[in-house]
């Protein structure tokens, strides 16, 4: 380096205010004895819950979940302290340095983990996993949503079931593939966006429906001989879709809710099919511990998701699109919020 030359500060993608993304400089913390320093290579945001927080519309924007009370309690600052908000959910990178007490990782290892979109990370090893040699960066950033979609297990999809999946973002696209792996005889995919319906058809959906074209709940009953779906999975976060999922489900069938919601649910009319058809409504999450199934924990969920993606038993091709350089990530993030029809899951490439 020439005398007097300055070293560029690393940058990170943050929302400095609701719906206001920026690339800003930051100072990474020092490398402690049990920490590793990672140079980012590829990353992705989480489009559902993360976008709600970015819009300042999430249930936790002005409240916090208290594990002792097991309910939401108001934030003392009313949620103002949520900004600046770190954006991004998954990172693939290479370890540049390790602390002296780190034994399981070494300099040069490629890793991935739940980390925000920033140039350099200094973290504990509990937050990362080694990247298998046969797992591409695009596949790695799909481990979540693939692990989140495994919440469909709580809806008990069984051999021969007729299943409807409402919402074909990345989680919904993995959920419909899991339904097929579970032995579903019919998988119906529902989304208003044509790009996502086309992708669902390529990933194994038997029928794709546009809810804007008519009464989708009634159409699903027509497709199932008026019986209705045995299981409906709601993955969109739209209360209108939740109501249609209930409407589409058979007597004493199950509606598994994987999505998170913002605000109220005026479109959900509980006096209609929910009441008359004795619907089982199940909240499905892979991060509410302990899980309903004895013997399942987060590590086992992530191990399974990684294995399913790595071996190709579920496909990720076409889900990460578009891919943009980190330099353009602020504008790209604004676009996925304002134009969801143009994107399924945004990919961000570093070092370009």
- Pair (121, 176) in one structural domain: no
Crossing angle of helices 239-248/216-223, nearest 10°? 30
Confidence of residue 6 (pLDDT cuts 50, 70, 90): low
- Pair (60, 90) in one structural domain: yes
In a domain, 208, yes or no: yes
Rounded average pLDDT over 168-191: 98
CATH code of 325's domain:
3.90.180.10
Return the bridge partners of 94, or none. Answer: 39, 110
- Pair (54, 94) in one structural domain: yes
Torsion angles phi and psi, residue 257, rounded to 5 = -100, 105
Q: 64: buried, middle or exposed (CB in 10 Å: 19+, 13-18, 0-12)? A: middle
Structure token digits, residue 173:
């696209």
In a domain, 207, yes or no: yes
- Pair (136, 60) in one structural domain: yes
- Pair (138, 42) in one structural domain: yes
- Pair (73, 165) in one structural domain: no
- Listed in sequence order, the residues at least 6 apart from 191 whose beta carbon sits closer than 8 Å to its beta carbon are 166, 167, 168, 172, 197, 200, 208, 210, 211, 236
Return the bridge partners of 186, or none. Answer: 162
- Pair (111, 214) in one structural domain: no
Last residue of a domain, one of 232, 260, 283: 283
- Pair (40, 136) in one structural domain: yes
CATH code of 184's domain:
3.40.50.720
Would you say how long the chain is, in residues? 352
User: Alpha-carbon distance 325 to 192, whole Å?
Assistant: 29
How do residues 217-254 score in pLDDT, each as one tens digit? 999 999 999 999 999 999 999 999 999 999 999 999 99
Rounded average pLDDT over 268-286: 95
User: Alpha-carbon distance 86 to 101, whole Å?
Assistant: 28
How do residues 80-124 score in pLDDT, each as one tens digit? 778 999 999 999 999 999 999 999 999 999 999 999 999 999 999
Is a pLDDT exceeding 50 seen at residue 149?
A: yes
Q: Supply angle C-alpha 17, 21, 23, rounded to 5.
A: 120
Confidence of residue 279 (pLDDT cuts 50, 70, 90): very high
Is a pLDDT exceeding 70 seen at residue 7?
A: no
- Pair (213, 262) in one structural domain: yes
User: Alpha-carbon distance 338 to 293, whole Å?
Assistant: 38
Torsion angles phi and psi, residue 94, rounded to 5 = -120, 135
Domain limits for position 206: 148-283
Task: Report the pLDDT value the prediction gives residue 230, as an integer from 0 to 100.
Answer: 98
Task: Report the pLDDT value the prediction gives residue 81, as an integer from 0 to 100.
Answer: 78
| CA dihedral sign of residues 156, 159, 164, 166 | positive
In a domain, 212, yes or no: yes
In a domain, 296, yes or no: no
In a domain, 3, yes or no: no
How do residues 10-58 score in pLDDT, each as one tens digit? 999 999 999 999 999 999 999 999 999 999 999 999 998 999 999 999 9
Residue in 36, 146, 144 with CA at minimum distance from that of residue 99:
36
Domain count along the chain? 2
Last residue of a domain, one of 262, 283, 304: 283
In a domain, 293, yes or no: no
Last residue of a domain, one of 265, 283, 301: 283
- Pair (128, 154) in one structural domain: no
pTM over 0.85: yes
In a domain, 310, yes or no: no
Is a pLDDT exceeding 80 seen at residue 352?
A: no
Task: Report the pLDDT value the prediction gives residue 8, as an integer from 0 to 100.
Answer: 81
- Pair (137, 193) in one structural domain: no
Distance of CA 76 to the CA centre of its chain: 28
In a domain, 343, yes or no: yes
- Pair (133, 190) in one structural domain: no
Q: Own/partner pairs for 222-228, CB < 8 Å, 24+ apart?
A: 223/186, 223/188, 224/162, 224/186, 224/250, 227/162, 228/253, 228/277
Average pLDDT, the chain: 94
DSSP 96: E
- Do 61 and 83 meet the contact criterion of CB atoms below 8 Å apart? no
- Listed in sequence order, the residues at least 6 apart from 10 whose beta carbon sits closer than 8 Å to its beta carbon are 25, 26, 28, 118, 119, 120
């Amino acid at each position: 380096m020439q005398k007097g030359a300055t070293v560029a500060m690393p940058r990170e993608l943050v929302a400095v205010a609701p719906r206001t993304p920026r690339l800003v400089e930051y100072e990474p913390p020092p490398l402690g004895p049990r920490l590793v320093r990672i140079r980012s290579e590829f990353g992705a945001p989480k489009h559902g819950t993360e976008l709600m927080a970015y819009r300042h519309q999430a249930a936790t924007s002005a409240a916090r979940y208290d594990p002792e009370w097991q309910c939401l309690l108001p934030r003392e600052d009313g949620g103002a302290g949520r900004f600046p908000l770190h954006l991004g959910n998954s990172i693939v990178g290479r370890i540049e340095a390790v602390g002296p007490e780190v034994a399981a990782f070494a300099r040069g290892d490629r890793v991935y983990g739940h980390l925000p979109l920033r140039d350099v990370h200094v973290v504990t090893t509990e937050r990362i996993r080694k990247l298998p040699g046969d797992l591409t960066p695009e596949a790695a950033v799909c481990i979540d949503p693939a692990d989140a979609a495994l919440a469909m297990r709580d809806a008990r999809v069984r051999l021969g079931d007729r299943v409807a999946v409402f919402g074909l973002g990345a989680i919904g696209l993995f959920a419909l593939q899991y339904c097929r792996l579970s032995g579903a005889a019919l998988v119906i995919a529902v989304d208003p966006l044509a790009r996502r319906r086309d992708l669902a058809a390529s990933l194994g959906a038997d029928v794709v429906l546009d809810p804007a074209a008519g009464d989708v709940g009634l159409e699903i009953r027509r497709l199932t001989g008026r019986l209705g779906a045995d299981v409906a999975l709601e993955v969109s976060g739209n209360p209108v879709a939740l109501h249609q999922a209930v409407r589409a489900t058979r007597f004493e069938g199950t509606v598994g809710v994987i999505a998170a919601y913002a605000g109220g649910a005026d479109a959900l009319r509980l006096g209609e099919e929910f009441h008359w058809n004795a619907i089982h409504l199940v909240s499905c999450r892979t991060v509410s511990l302990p899980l309903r199934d004895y013997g399942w924990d987060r590590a086992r969920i992530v191990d399974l998701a990684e294995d399913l993606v790595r071996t190709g038993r579920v496909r990720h091709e076409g889900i990460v699109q578009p891919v943009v350089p980190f330099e353009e990530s602020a504008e790209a993030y604004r676009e996925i919020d304002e134009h969801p029809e143009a994107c399924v899951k945004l990919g961000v490439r570093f070092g370009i």
